[in-house]
Amino acid sequence: MSTKTLLLTEARSGLRARFHLLEREAPESTAFLWELMAESREMPAIHAIWTGPEISCPIPTAQIDPARNARPLAPENATITPQAGDLVLAYVPAKMWGGNPEPVFDLGVFYAGGARMLFPIGWLAGNVVARVDAADRDALAERCNAIRRAGACTFVWSREEQ
């Protein structure tokens, strides 16, 4: 398992969860995230409608290096049935989703069983890039359920200090 860890917090629900990157299984995707999180990032998040027990966190285009944004994300460690505790990076090419002129990079925080990568545009495999620390799994589910009931929120992602 990677020694690189991302910390996810959300103030209103009290969410605090550590995700260990799966560098061997998804090297390009985890390198992208690690580079992105060189500085702490605030991102809007909302409970997903189509995928089940997921808090969806689209990465704002302005936060992604334009050169990186111009390249598609390769499938690696891909799934269409994420498990509880998975952090999934999904990629949708430009103009594929509602004509959006920019590609979409979305971080999905899956907190319970029964999830599926079904979107309004159809099935879309996403890359499992990290797993929640076992000690944080129950709290992740509890806090994500609170977010589901409360509505949209702001996630803060950062590198965990080692």
SS (H, E, C) 38-49: CCCEEEEEEECC
Residue range 5-159 in CATH 2.40.100.20 = yes
Q: Which residues contact 147 (CB under 8 A, 6 or more apart)?
A: 10, 12, 13, 15, 45, 47, 55, 153
Per-residue pLDDT of the chain (162 residues; tens, 9 = 90+): 458 999 999 999 999 999 999 999 999 999 999 999 999 999 999 999 899 999 999 999 999 998 888 888 999 999 999 999 999 999 999 998 888 899 999 999 999 999 999 988 899 999 999 999 999 999 999 999 999 999 999 999 999 966
Task: Map out the domains of the chain as residue ranges.
Answer: 5-159
